[in-house]
A and B are shown apart, each in its own frame.
Chain A
């Protein structure tokens, strides 16, 4: 009886890991779709990341309002997920995710995945 329970437990864990992988893949897919939608909305056609560009105040000043808000929040927080940025800007997580990914494409932010979370930050070498 004991062996049956532990076998079920192992199967359960495998199942959960698989579901988590599916969820991760769906989130990645979702992010990519958000980028495409966002770029189309703002007239962008190319999805090629631009070379790394410093996110200085003059750049912030010349940005469209919706992106400036997101970029400034990342500057203030140092390193943040879309969820954390959304809490500060009071906009939807999906919207922030799209803006953050757009800033990555523009070369202003870097993105790093840790497990299921994606962190956005200004390049450390640039931050000093």
Chain B
């Protein structure tokens, strides 16, 4: 059976979306059938980054009970050469949709959780997807906690920023642990200096700090920032070190039992 992965973080700007896109792409490159979903309803970005200008139905519609998930998914397999299959489910980026979803009550959020949980059956069991990758909103928000509860594995993107590290530590204890979620950390945007000289240093220091395994360490690549999110590095820059790290993370995920 497939796996549901939620990519989450304490703060915004940790690189969740770039990580989600490239992780999904790396898994597709490994021959997997992957569905990438934008669950960041407050600041949707996949439609822009993946250059999908129009969608007939959005994930908002699915969670509102207007349509089935099959109407939402868009086949982007041609975007990744030589691999499995890539589908995406997008969040509606219009201000009206963001306003609408921000005003939902607890009953609606509970229904949304039920609908997210049912994706395991519809997509993994019935449609044969190997992975569902949820890109989420940062922090403790309904949509992201719903995604976390529905996931088998939570990948937490964290930088070395002190407030980010402290917040991530708190979330490990007060959020993921409470839901008994398997959690892995990806330390992103690492700048090496006096105290941290290598990947090994980051791994050992962060593992000691967080008490959970580090899935990947990604240095701060100017190329990634310079691309402004318009490139899928795994596809467009196959020889880039960032791509190599994504490939290693995908391999690690495949080995993982959840």
Contact call A58/B115, Cβ cutoff below 8 A: no
Cβ of B65 within 8 Å of any chain A Cβ, yes or no, is yes
B175 within 8 A of A: yes
Partner of B179 from A59, A72, A122 at Cβ < 8 Å: A72
User: Told that A57-B109, A58-B109 touch, could you supply 12 new A-B pairs with CB distance under 8 A?
Assistant: A54-B110, A56-B110, A56-B113, A56-B142, A58-B142, A61-B178, A72-B149, A76-B117, A122-B110, A122-B114, A127-B111, A128-B114
Any chain B CB within 8 A of the CB of A60? yes
Complex alpha-carbon distance, A59 and B107, angstroms = 11
CA distance A54 to B106 in the complex (A): 6
> A122-B114, A128-B114 are known contacts. Are A57 and B146 too (CB-CB below 8 A)?
yes
A55 to B106 CA separation, bound complex (whole angstroms): 8
Collect the chain B residues with CB atoms within 8 Å of residue A128's CB: 65, 111, 114-115
Q: Is A75 an interface residue (CB 8 A)?
A: yes
Say yes or no for B180: interface residue by CB 8 A criterion.
yes
B180: chain A residues at CB < 8 Å are 69
Q: Separation in Å of the A107 CB from the closest CB of chain B?
A: 13
Taking CB atoms, residues of chain B closer than 8 Å to A56 are 106-107, 109-110, 113, 142
- Is A46 in contact with chain B by the CB < 8 A criterion? no
Closest partner residue, chain B, to A124 (CB atom): B114
Residues of B within 8 A of A65 (CB): 178
Q: Which B residues have a C-beta under 8 Å from some C-beta of A?
A: 65, 106-107, 109-111, 113-115, 117, 142, 145-146, 149, 175, 178-180
Residues of B contacting A126 in the complex (Cβ-Cβ under 8 angstroms)? 107, 110-111
Q: Which residues of A contact B107 (CB under 8 A)?
A: 54, 56, 126
Residue A68 is within 8 A (CB to CB) of chain B in the complex: yes
26 A-B pairs in the complex with CB atoms less than 8 angstroms apart: A54-B106, A54-B107, A54-B109, A54-B110, A55-B110, A56-B107, A56-B109, A56-B142, A57-B109, A57-B142, A57-B149, A58-B142, A60-B179, A61-B175, A65-B178, A69-B180, A72-B149, A72-B179, A75-B113, A75-B149, A78-B114, A126-B110, A127-B110, A128-B65, A128-B111, A128-B114
Q: For the complex, what is the distance from the CA of A126 to the CA of B106, rounded to whole Å? A: 10
CA distance A61 to B110 in the complex (A): 13
Cβ proximity bits A108-128 to B, threshold 8 Å, 1 near / 0 not: 000000000000001000111
> Cβ of B117 and Cβ of A57 under 8 Å apart?
no
By a CB distance below 8 angstroms, the chain A residues around B65 are: 128
Q: Could you tell me the distance in whole angstroms from the C-beta of B41 to the nearest C-beta in chain A?
A: 15
Task: Check if A68 sits within 8 Å of B178, measured CB to CB.
Answer: yes
Smallest CB–CB gap between B67 and chain A, Å? 13
Please indicate which of the listed interface residues B115, B145, B178 has the most CB atoms of chain A within 10 Å of its own CB: B178
Shortest Cβ-Cβ A-B pairs, 5 listed: A128-B111, A57-B145, A56-B110, A127-B114, A54-B106
Q: Judging by beta carbons under 8 Å apart, are B114 and A75 in contact?
A: yes
Q: Write the A37-81 contact mask toward B (1 if CB under 8 angstroms, else 0).
A: 000000000000000001111111100010011001001101000
Give the chain A neighbours of B175 by CB distance below 8 A: 61
